[in-house]
Amino acid sequence: MTDIAVAPPRPQTIWGRVGDFLVRRPESTIAVVALALAAYFAVVNPAFLSTANIRIISQYMIATAILAAGQVMLLISGEIDLSMGNVYFMTPFLVFFASEAGLVLPLAIVVGVLGAGVVGYLNGAISLGFGIPSFIVTLGMGFIINGFTLNISDGFPKRVPSTAVGVAIFGGANFSGLMWVIIIITGMHLILTYSRWGVYTVAVGGNPLGASEAGVPSRNIKMRNFILAAMLAGFAGVIEGIRVGSFDPGAGVAGAKVFESVAAAVIGGTALTGGSGTIIGAFLGALVLGILRDGFNLEGVSAFTFTMVLGAAIILAMILNSLANKARIRSQSARL
């Protein structure tokens, strides 16, 4: 009689179940990395865990996390948006002009975000309509939006009125940025994991031909993702501008912003080639980047060596992540 391999019994203890849950989730490894880094910085500098510093870490994260959330949906569906950094800087000026025209701040923000959505629509329409890779279309669109922003702003930063209605909620108050990050991340995660939109996004990215054969409206899904990404970028720009107190055309900064959003998405476990990804991972990726930046600043690392240390730390963090991931997968397959 041949021996049939029998799977070991599923764990029944609460710790077993928690362990089981964590091991299944791909984000658990990057979470471990984030915790390890936080522990290291906390030990090296007691100020790291102070409330003020937690706020500062959250500030480092706001733009990256929100942009990454939009970027993840696009990356999963097989596209990318390189114009998000420029939309980030354009939208505050739309909000500024809307509020100068008499709209109260929350409505002006809605107008601005809709304007950002128009850019997303154009990105999608041109890429999908002409079959051009979104990398190129959004790159070109980024330049257009850059020039557009400089033109409408005359290259000059604009003051944010500190007494406008709703300023505190939209970035003015201390933790409002973090609040928005959590709302957006939670919302996007629910969309990706529990809605048809999310399932279709993964399908379209993972197996475009099969998905369209199966009746998934891929063009529609990708358009939605383009528009959503642009709107999130615009919103992030507005709340960050309000936090800082000044809307700046950010001529040289846009590229770095969008690049960091892609980095956060990839660190969090989203594949650049499409088909898989995680919003929570993007949040954790942004958290890791924020912890690194803040931690090194707290320690007093000076600018010239800062980028060297940051880059080395990112690579090491990713190696750690990859090793932990292999361990996770191995322990998972050991259960089968």
Partner 1 sequence: MPADTVQLLSPSRRNFLKALGMTAAIGLINACTNDGATATTAAGGTGGTGSTAATGGSGAGNFPETPEWSFTFVNHVTTNPFFVPTVYGIEDASAILGTTFQWTGSEIADNAEMVNAMEAAIAAEADGIGVCLVDLEAFNGPTDEALAAGIPVIAYNADTPPGNPNNRLCYVGQDLYGSGFEMGNRIVELVGEGKVALFIATPGQLNIQPRIDGAMDAITESGAAIEATAITTGAALEEELTNVEAWYLGNQDATGMFAVDAGSTQAVGQVVRDQNARDNALVGAGGYDLLPETVELVSEGVLDFTIDQQPYLQGFLPTLYLYLYKLSGGVVTPPETNTGLVFLDSASAQLFLETASRFEGDAAEQAIVEPVG
Q: Which is nearer to partner 1, 196 or 326 (CB)?
A: 326
Q: Which is nearer to partner 1, 7 or 209 (CB)?
A: 7
For residue 221, give both structure tokens: 């899904």
Distance of closest approach, residue 208 Cβ to partner 1, in angstroms: 35
- What's the CA gap between 244 and 203, in Å, rounded? 40
Distance of closest approach, residue 46 Cβ to partner 1, in angstroms: 10
Q: Which is nearer to partner 1, 222 or 328 (CB)?
A: 328
Distance of closest approach, residue 133 Cβ to partner 1, in angstroms: 26
Q: Tokens 């939670």 map to which residue? A: 186
Instruction: Tell me, rounded to whole angstroms, the distance of Cα 184 from its chain centroid.
Output: 10
Distance of closest approach, residue 322 Cβ to partner 1, in angstroms: 10
- Are the C-beta atoms of residues 165 and 47 closer than 8 Å to each other? no
Distance of closest approach, residue 220 Cβ to partner 1, in angstroms: 35
Provide the residue type at 132 as one letter: I
- What's the CA gap between 179 and 13, in Å, rounded? 34
Tell me which residue of 270, 288, 231, 215 sits closest to 79, measured CA to CA. 270
Q: Which is nearer to partner 1, 200 or 247 (CB)?
A: 247
Contacts of 113 (CB under 8 A, 6+ apart): 91, 231, 234, 235, 238
Distance of closest approach, residue 90 Cβ to partner 1, in angstroms: 16
Q: Which is nearer to partner 1, 15 or 130 (CB)?
A: 15
Strands 158-159 and 246-247, bridge-based pairing:
antiparallel
Q: What is the dihedral of CA 152, 95, 184, 294, to 10 degrees?
A: 70
Q: Which is nearer to partner 1, 28 or 123 (CB)?
A: 28
